[in-house]
Structure 1
């Protein structure tokens, strides 16, 4: 029997990859709800790369998750919901507060409100939520004196003096980061992270009350072909690529040693689709990442080499308030519950990503503007001004 899957945000970077994978499964009928924002899709969204890759693979509804009537229409006859629609970007969230709350919190609230009106006629069996590793804040660390700790964050005064390491909140000792497990404390340090944690809580509260299964995924740094090259608020791969192709200098924030866990979008899509009927994932929060950390300077150097760019990589000490120091997921749970192992290495994924970028129109004009916006709001500090 054919199952209908609603993918909110299904024309976005991650959503479009999930839709393409679902389209290879004849037992699924795919419906997409997406607003096609200019920040992601440009001024002519229906000609964008992402929209073009999904428009013939699904029933497409162009609409806003904040519009209740549209959500009611989109949920009609749906068996599964993959909820991806959200405002993303930690820096931008710190001054676009109402926008992030309205889309991320009220958007999901609309889904539950619409489902509650259906009562016993509700057909939705499971909701899959795309959450974020950002809910962990700085994540999990070890202190030589206090053992495992979950620090609140780095002190601005330390960073102004070039100290970008993590220190214990109790004894001030320098900390060593370790992979973050799903049972780690959640200490969001951006409004974006707060809204993702709020989504998780809403899912954990409302799904059991409505007899709906759920799986919550905490994505690490997702990358791959289709990643927005126009949105300066998310994705250092896109930001670095547009600058490297113009042979412009790259501002490497902090000391360049801050690390991230990069996971290819195809691996993310595979895990999400696997979880649809994987009962072992029901009621679970699961990290999705590579389990390996890569420093920002390593990423910049690798991209520079692939592109053959003459850009200078300048470690400036500039920093954004709320940025984390390190980011590595413990992926044991994903492996045990879903049989998940990343299939695409970072080198392979970056090479494929760069090849795709070379065929796209790039624009770095918004990057400096985005930094100016964050600086004006007090969320970005220049050490070199």
Structure 2
């Protein structure tokens, strides 16, 4: 069954891949996007957005524009959001307005003009610290870090008796621990989707995305995904800048796999009310990732280890993929090295303004780096 799908925020990095995947499956696609300068620069239509996609340039908080964009739509992929843990800790009103109020506006209009299904992009950031296991073999959901100033007390969480905790893959049942305004925003988007979908006959599904990477990221946005930030630095012959000691572990998932997950979540029956992790199921240290990207780009610069932590950052969080595999039928299939090579090839053809030092200065000036 083919449908006409609205993708909010669909001109962005992930949205363009989702649009391509839906087009490949025979769907029609309309995109609502405000094309903010921080992400898109000065452009009327992003180069990577397929010609077949209808673009509506408007803010998701504009109710009239949203209502017009919903006309004739069968399903919605909701990606529109300000993205960035660090920036969310000082641009609080902006993030909360776009992410939470924007989602509220979308669902108010969906009440008037309901669709079959809404798939909302959430984030692994809602977990805060991932799941851990203590020395006695017990799972720990509420791990907390002590003082991380200059690494004092260690970077890794300890149990109540001061013993090391071992990070394990984080499943969907782990309770949220909202450590940043961005995490709070994404959780509100999740809950809004689930609270308002069912009463109005809409099927609501949420996908908690882990660290998405691939060609097409906004290289000049210092608050985007970490691999894009590293790529921007390397492209400008600067060493990747890594907070803490670089041993924090994450799950990096290729954007093409993520696009497939959204399309599957839109099409597969029986998913209403469900939330799924979307990741690769493999964890890597941030230093390892920066080093491998440098090699792929032909610029093997040793990362600059800052030795300080950003307020709102977490230590370890990587993906338990079992629920998505069992219920959604989704498994990431892209090889990490192949994905890095594709990213490196694309980056080589780009120009990027390196704003990482500026972003770090903004955080430090507000006391958000310790």
Class of the TM-score when normalised by the shorter of the 2 chains? over 0.9
Which residue matches 2:134? 143
Deviations 1:49-94 (A, max 9, x none): xx22225121110000011111111111211010000000000000
**Which segments of 5 or more consecutive residues in structure 1 lack a partner in the other structure?**
none
| Distance of 1:359 and 1:250 partners within structure 2 | 19
Deviations 1:118-177 (A, max 9, x none): 2xxx34010000000011110211112482112353223465426111112x33321111
Which residue matches 2:36? 37
Which residue matches 1:20? 20
Which residue matches 2:237? 247
Which residue matches 2:76? 81
| Distance of 2:114 and 2:236 partners within structure 1 | 51
| Distance of 2:9 and 2:215 partners within structure 1 | 17
TM-score calculated relative to the size of structure 2? 0.96
| Distance of 1:71 and 1:316 partners within structure 2 | 43
Alpha-carbon offset, residue 276 of structure 1? 1.5
Q: RMSD between aligned alpha carbons?
A: 1.6
Match of 1:46 among 17, 20, 44: 44
Which residue matches 1:369? 358
**Which segments of 5 or more consecutive residues in structure 2 lack a partner in the other structure?**
none
| Distance of 1:298 and 1:376 partners within structure 2 | 29
* Alignment check: 8 A CA contact 1:37 1:45 kept: no
| Distance of 1:203 and 1:332 partners within structure 2 | 23
| Distance of 2:2 and 2:134 partners within structure 1 | 52
1:124 aligns to 2:119 (yes or no): no
Which residue matches 1:344? 334
1:167 aligns to 2:158 (yes or no): yes
Match of 1:298 among 288, 291, 296: 288
| Distance of 2:215 and 2:101 partners within structure 1 | 30
Report runs of 4+ in structure 1 exceeding 4 Å deviation: none
Which residue matches 1:155? 146
1:1-385 alignment, distance < 5 Å? 2-26=2-26, 28-42=27-41, 44-46=42-44, 51-54=46-49, 56-116=51-111, 118=112, 122-145=113-136, 147-157=138-148, 160-161=151-152, 163-168=154-159, 170-309=160-299, 311-364=301-354, 366-381=355-370
Residue 287 of structure 1: SS of its match in structure 2? strand
* Alignment check: 8 A CA contact 2:235 2:347 kept: no
Question: CA 1:127/1:152 → structure 2, altered by over 3 Å: closer, same or farther?
Answer: same
| Distance of 2:269 and 2:50 partners within structure 1 | 30
Residue 256 of structure 2: SS of its match in structure 1? helix
TM-score calculated relative to the size of structure 1? 0.92
Between the two proteins, the alignment pairs up a number of residues equal to 370
Question: CA 1:112/1:246 → structure 2, altered by over 3 Å: closer, same or farther?
Answer: closer
| Distance of 2:196 and 2:170 partners within structure 1 | 26
* Alignment check: 8 A CA contact 1:20 1:57 kept: no
Question: CA 1:314/1:21 → structure 2, altered by over 3 Å: closer, same or farther?
Answer: same
